Amino acid sequence: MKTTTSYYLLHRGARVHCLQWGTGKRLLIALHGFGDRARLFSVLERPLGERYTVVAFDLPFHGKTEWPYETFDKSDMLQIIEQIRLRVGQERLSLMGFSFGARIAQGLLADVLPRLERLFLLAPDGIRTPGMWWAVHTPLWLRRRLRKWVQHPAKWLRAVSRGRRLRLVPLLVAQFLRFHLARPERRQRVFGCWLALDSFYIRRRALQVLWATSGVPIVVFLGSTDETIHRRTVQKLARGLPNVQVIYLSGGHRIVGEMLAEQLAQIDF
């Protein structure tokens, strides 16, 4: 029987919405991707629920979480994870992150290693994501200024349309901007997460050292046709590391589904 508990954690004036399910003796905390929410992971209840107590929470600016600040950082995520750990009553934990959530998980890795049992990275952003270089390296002051400029987005959307007609703006970029600039809550989410990127940035070399020296079992799932993740870079990082396993699933970026559930059911953990 599916038994999911919904509750809120209070964190410095914010209300963080959590979903908890499973009856396992170990704790797994799951971080969803950009534009998703905690319920994304419900499809994984069957392979995980008997082995873990799973807690997924809506990230700031997502789902039912009420976040009254312009952004969030590593300290916020660590404190929320610590609240969950204490609430469930576990000394140790495992982390699972999908896409943007995997970027956050990797940014937290050095801090949570003393308590970490296992790391699941699902289509992980933050290793090498084509097109994300500019987002990470845009100066913080410029991001904040852009945030103010697009509060009235009509002229920007017209500029995107003109750029698209002139083939100066790629189709995917145009679609992203049209969708996320159209409503205030979407603009808040885009810029809140964009401002947060610096806090979770980790160089690939430093990440590889963490993977190699931690000894923590790491399972990376990649979509075989995912064009948003540079698969060769992930393979290069994992090469020669006995604690890192890379598993391919058919399909693109959104791999959280029944096929992933079947693969997780086959893993001995």
Domains annotated for the chain, with CATH where assigned, are: 5-130+200-266 (3.40.50.1820), 133-196 (no CATH)
- Stated pTM of the model: 0.91
Residues 86, 192: Cα–Cα separation, whole Å: 27
Is the Cα torsion angle 59, 61, 64, 66 positive or negative in sign? Answer: positive
- Tell me what pLDDT residue 37 has: 98
Phi, psi of 244 (to 5 degrees): -115, 125
Instruction: Report the C-alpha gap between 229 and 104 in whole angstroms.
Output: 15
Confidence band (pLDDT; 50, 70, 90) for 136? confident
Convert the pLDDT of each residue in 199-211 to its tens digit.
999 999 999 999 9
Task: List pLDDT tens digits, range 22-38.
Answer: 999 999 999 999 999 99
Mean pLDDT value of segment 152-169: 81
Question: Directed axis angle between helix 231-238 and helix 204-214, to 10°?
Answer: 40
Burial of residue 208 (CB within 10 Å: 0-12, 13-18, 19+) is middle
Phi-psi region of 14 (alpha: psi -120 to 50; beta: other; left: phi over 0): beta
Of the chain, the percentage scoring pLDDT greater than 90 comes to: 72
The predicted model gives 161-182 an average pLDDT of: 77
pLDDT(168) > 90: no
Q: What is the pLDDT of residues 84-114, one digit of tens each?
A: 999 999 999 999 999 999 999 999 999 999 9
Residue 132 has pLDDT above 90, yes or no: no
What percentage of the chain's residues is helix, strand, coil (to nearest 5)?
Answer: 45, 20, 35
Q: Specify whether the backbone of 128 is left (phi greater than 0), alpha (psi in -120 to 50) or beta.
A: beta
